[in-house]
Amino acid sequence: MDITDNFLFQYQHQSRSLPPSQIISHSQNENLNTSQFSLLNSTNSPWSCSSSSPDPLRILQIYLGKGKVATANLPKEAKTHKIDLILVQEPYSKGAKILGIPKSWNQWLSENGKAGKISLPSANTPIFLGIKENAVAIKIQTSIGPLSIISGYSSPYSDIQNTIQDISQFITSLTQESVLIGAYMNAHSTLWGYPNDSLRGNAMEDFISSTNLHLLNVKDGGPTFQQRNAKGWPDLPLSIG
C-alpha cells in the first residue's frame, strides 16, 4: 500500500479576517490513504497566482513514499483541490523524472530524486533557481512580487544538517525576497505538534530561529501524517517575508 501524507495551504491576498497560519478546514482523503489536508490562510504571506488574478496560490506539499499509485493520483487531487504548485517528497521517479503525471506539468527533482517541485499550467511560468542534493528551488511571479519556493527532504536515517545546509544556501542567495519552504524533515518538536523533542527537532528549531523563518504549522492543528497506529507532523511549511 502506498503511504502518503500531505499539507495543503493557500495564500489569499484579499482576506484579512484570520491570523497568520490559522487552519480553516481539514479533510480526510481516502484516495491517498488517510492523508490529511490542512488548508491555511496566512495574512503574512499574501500571494496570489498572478498580478491580474485575486485567486489564492494553492500549494500542496505531499510525501509520496515512492508510491506509484499515490504519484499517479496527483492529477485527480490537483483537479479536486484546484492546485497550482505541488511540493513532493520521495515521488515515484526514474531517471530524474517523476512518473505518472501529465507532460504539460513542469517538474524538477533534487540531485538525489527525493525532493521535487511540480508546476501546473494554472500557475505563472516558474523560473528554475537550481537543485542541490536534498533540495530544489524555483521562483514564481505573484500579485505582490516574486516568490521563491523551496522543496526539501531529509531521511530519518541521514544527517539532517545536510538538508538544512542545502536549504540555507538557497535562502542566503535570496536576500530581501519572499521565500516559501516545504520540507519533510522527519524531525520531532513540540513546537509543531509532537509530544516530544528529538535531536533532529532541536536542529530544525535552531535553524528556524537563526534564519528568522516563520513556522506555518499550527501546534494544535492535527497531524499531517496519520495511519491506523501512527501519526506525526513531519511536514514543515516555513516562510520568510
197-236 pLDDT, tens digit per residue, is: 999 999 999 999 999 998 887 666 666 666 666 666 567 8
DSSP lists the bridge partners of residue 28 as 36
Candidates 44, 31, 60; CA nearest to 122 is 60
Predicted TM-score of the model (pTM): 0.79
Q: How many domains does the chain have?
A: 1
**In this prediction, what percent of the chain has a pLDDT beyond 70?**
70
| The pairing of beta strand 235-240 with beta strand 35-41 | unpaired
- Asked whether residue 225 is assigned to any structural domain, the reply reads no
Higher pLDDT, 29 or 191: 191
Q: Which domain holds residue 199?
A: 55-219+230-240
| The pairing of beta strand 85-89 with beta strand 53-63 | parallel
Candidates 94, 133, 140; CA nearest to 115 is 133
**Residue 193 has what pLDDT?**
77
Residue 3 is given by DSSP the state -
- Asked whether residue 23 is assigned to any structural domain, the reply reads no
- Asked whether residue 26 is assigned to any structural domain, the reply reads no
- CATH, residue 104: 3.60.10.10
- Asked whether residue 72 is assigned to any structural domain, the reply reads yes
Helix (H), strand (E), coil (C) string for 161-219: HHHHHHHHHHHHCCCCCEEEEEEECCCCCHHHCCCCCCHHHHHHHHHHHHCCCEECCCC
Q: Assign residue 33 a region (left: φ > 0; alpha: ψ between -120 and 50; beta: otherwise).
A: left
Q: How confident is the model at residue 93 (pLDDT cuts 50, 70, 90)?
A: very high
Angstrom distances, CA of residue 131 to CA of 44, 46, 68, 108, 163: 27, 26, 23, 8, 12
- Asked whether residue 79 is assigned to any structural domain, the reply reads yes
118-159 pLDDT, tens digit per residue, is: 999 988 889 999 999 999 999 998 877 888 999 999 999 999
- Asked whether residue 197 is assigned to any structural domain, the reply reads yes
- Asked whether residue 212 is assigned to any structural domain, the reply reads yes
Helix (H) or strand (E) holding 152: strand 145-153
- Asked whether residue 76 is assigned to any structural domain, the reply reads yes
